[in-house]
């Protein structure tokens, strides 16, 4: 477990949201030596301390010739390929030979616990600041949401994990914490999200900060996950998930984009379909996964590094229904692009590369991307509602409306007249095809214990599912391994089965 320092460095408190100016820090008596004791004294400190909690969201997105941490749950689906030979961590996961030495897992663990530590500190110290009560409640709401998000990701990936809800120092009995049960972690996640829900956050806003829409959407996903594995809470939690997703839908605050181009249009950041995103800003903190989605050394990009780090398998793209717009050229994927030195020359890329995250301006001219990364889209909320509502009472008119909104945009015929079982699998398939390569599919696989067979186009049991290129999932792949360093340094942690 990473030890949380008592020092709060100046740079750690600055973030993309930049609510506090340099002059505010210069008013301090010793701006180079902020500590927990002397920092939390002004309303601006509350804002900047919460801003810092967002920073670990970005760290797993860093990509290059070593691959990228964000690829970990993508390669675990069996639906992704890579041409990046030196990215051994990608191959270990892709080929189901993963170990606890994988740096992807270490990055997720370290960064997300860093976010949790920041949230714990803000939640503990902000109430001691003299400031507007409503504003205090709102910034604390953001902190509770972010803590819940980090724990939600960690418990799904690693299972039995430490649950820490207060700042830790060298004298703390939580310095080497015991692992909590997943049930205890989920209980805390729900409590945090309910606190955030009651904190007075706006339903929408375009700065990138947490909104009420994001809180309700994440709570819907948490309830949906709790209904499935590993907790298997069933019908009552499907009903909770449906109701929470329905609140987002009924708010009328969000809508699907009319075109898939808007999914990777920087002008559409934090609006309409984009409920919650990881924030980037060209020239300041540029989107840094762009190099990983460029075909390997095909000379199509303004970026000097063309890594071929991740792309879709052909078998997955061919599993889309005939005439599905998403599978057509330059919608979700692309197979051709122009040559960097001669834009009149078309290059055959030899695979299905990811276009839904492709920043055209950055790739063709600036090599400095302004694109955000989507965490929660309205399409996800619609599909969560359709799935959960069906589990509660079968395929209702409103459930059909939700899933068919996704299909209509894909230029597919509306679903109708399905049994509960057939509707369930139809919604799952929409989730696989709509939300692919957004760090969602593997989490669906784990909560459902199901995998999509791209050949039969049917769902089958997770354990025993064979990837189209050979390897077969076993029980151990239901979780990722706890990083070696964490188990070595904390003897209270037990490694996950099979690693």
Q: Same domain, yes or no, for 218 and 354?
A: no
Q: Same domain, yes or no, for 178 and 310?
A: no
Let me know if residue 310 belongs to a domain.
yes
Q: Same domain, yes or no, for 187 and 284?
A: no
Q: Which CATH number belongs to the domain containing residue 47 in this structure?
A: 1.25.40.390
Let me know if residue 223 belongs to a domain.
yes
Let me know if residue 322 belongs to a domain.
yes
Residue 71 CB-half CA count within 13 A = 35
pLDDT over 90 (residue 2): no
Structural domain boundaries enclosing 188: 10-80+102-237
Q: Same domain, yes or no, for 16 and 112?
A: yes
Q: What is the dihedral sign for C-alpha 295, 297, 298, 302?
A: positive
Q: Same domain, yes or no, for 341 and 232?
A: no
Question: Kind of pairing, strands 450-453 and 458-461?
Answer: antiparallel
Let me know if residue 382 belongs to a domain.
no
Q: Same domain, yes or no, for 61 and 202?
A: yes
Q: Of 154, 147, 148, nearest to 72 (Cα)?
A: 154
Gap between the Cα atoms of 162 and 176, Å rounded: 9
Helical spans, DSSP H, in 181-292: 182-197, 212-227, 235-250
Let me know if residue 85 belongs to a domain.
no
pLDDT over 50 (residue 387): yes
Predicted pLDDT of residue 174: 78
Q: Same domain, yes or no, for 139 and 40?
A: yes
Given a contact cutoff of 8 angstroms between Cβ atoms, the answer to whether 432 and 445 are in contact is no
Cis peptide, bond prior to residue 230, ω within 30 of zero: yes
Predicted pLDDT of residue 389: 98
Angle between helices 212-227 and 182-197 (to 10 degrees): 150
Query: What DSSP designation does 67 have?
Result: E
Gap between the Cα atoms of 322 and 312, Å rounded: 18
Average of per-residue pLDDT values in the chain: 93
The tens digit of pLDDT for each residue in 116-163 reads: 999 999 999 999 999 999 999 999 999 999 999 999 999 999 999 999
pLDDT over 70 (residue 4): no
Predicted pLDDT of residue 317: 98
Q: Same domain, yes or no, for 163 and 217?
A: yes
CA angle 32–33–34, rounded 5-degree value: 110
Let me know if residue 34 belongs to a domain.
yes
Q: Same domain, yes or no, for 321 and 180?
A: no
Total of domains in the chain: 2
Let me know if residue 5 belongs to a domain.
no
pLDDT over 80 (residue 401): yes
Predicted pLDDT of residue 33: 54
The tens digit of pLDDT for each residue in 175-232 reads: 889 999 999 999 999 999 999 999 999 999 999 999 999 999 999 999 999 999 999 9
Let me know if residue 442 belongs to a domain.
no
Q: Same domain, yes or no, for 41 and 166?
A: yes
Last residue in a domain, options 306, 338, 371: 371
Q: Same domain, yes or no, for 192 and 330?
A: no
Predicted pLDDT of residue 335: 98
């Amino acid at each position: 477990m990473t030890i949380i320092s008592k020092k709060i460095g100046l740079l750690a408190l600055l973030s993309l949201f930049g609510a506090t100016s340099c002059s505010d820090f210069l008013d301090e008596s010793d701006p180079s030596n902020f500590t927990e004791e002397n920092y939390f004294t002004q309303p601006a400190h509350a804002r900047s301390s919460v801003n810092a909690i967002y920073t670990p969201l970005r760290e797993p997105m860093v990509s290059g010739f070593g691959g990228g941490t964000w690829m970990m749950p993508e390669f675990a689906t069996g639906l992704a390929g890579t041409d990046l030979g030196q990215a051994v961590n990608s191959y270990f996961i892709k080929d189901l030979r993963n170990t606890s030495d994988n740096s992807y897992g270490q990055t997720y663990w370290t960064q997300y616990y860093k976010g949790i530590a920041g949230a714990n500190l803000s939640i503990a110290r902000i109430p001691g600041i003299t400031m507007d009560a409503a504003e205090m409640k709102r910034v604390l709401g953001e902190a509770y949401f972010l803590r819940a998000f980090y724990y939600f990701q960690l418990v799904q990936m690693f299972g039995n994990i430490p649950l820490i809800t207060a700042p830790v120092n060298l004298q703390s009995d939580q310095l080497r914490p015991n692992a909590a049960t997943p049930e205890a972690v989920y209980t805390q996640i729900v409590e945090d999200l309910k606190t955030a829900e009651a904190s007075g956050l706006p339903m929408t806003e375009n700065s990138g900060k947490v909104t009420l829409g994001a809180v309700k959407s994440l709570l819907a996903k948490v309830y949906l996950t709790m209904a499935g594995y590993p907790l298997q809470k069933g019908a009552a939690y499907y009903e909770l998930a449906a109701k929470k997703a329905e609140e987002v839908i009924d708010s009328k605050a969000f809508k699907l984009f009319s075109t898939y181009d808007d999914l990777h249009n920087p002008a559409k950041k934090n609006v309409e379909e984009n409920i919650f995103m990881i924030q980037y800003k060209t020239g300041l903190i540029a989107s840094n996964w762009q190099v990983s989605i460029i075909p390997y050394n095909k000379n199509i990009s303004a970026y000097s590094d063309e890594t071929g780090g991740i792309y879709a398998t052909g078998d997955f793209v061919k599993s889309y229904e005939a005439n599905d717009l998403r599978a057509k050229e330059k919608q979700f994927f692309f197979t051709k692009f122009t040559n960097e030195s001669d834009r009149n020359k078309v290059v055959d890329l030899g695979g299905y590369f990811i276009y839904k995250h492709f920043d055209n301006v950055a790739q063709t001219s600036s090599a400095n991307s302004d694109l955000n990364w989507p965490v929660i889209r309205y399409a996800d909320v619609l599909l969560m509602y359709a799935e959960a509502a069906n589990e509660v009472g079968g395929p209702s008119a409103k459930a059909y409306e939700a899933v068919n909104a996704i299909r209509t945009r894909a230029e597919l015929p509306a679903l109708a007249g399905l049994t509960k079982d057939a509707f369930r699998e139809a919604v799952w398939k929409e989730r696989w095809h709509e939300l692919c390569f957004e760090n969602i599919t593997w989490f669906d696989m784990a909560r459902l214990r199901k995998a999509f067979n791209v050949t039969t186009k049917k769902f089958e049991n997770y354990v025993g599912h064979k990837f189209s290129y050979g390897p077969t999932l076993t029980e151990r792949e239901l979780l990722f391994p706890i990083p070696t360093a964490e188990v070595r340094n904390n003897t209270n942690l037990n490694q996950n089965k099979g690693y």
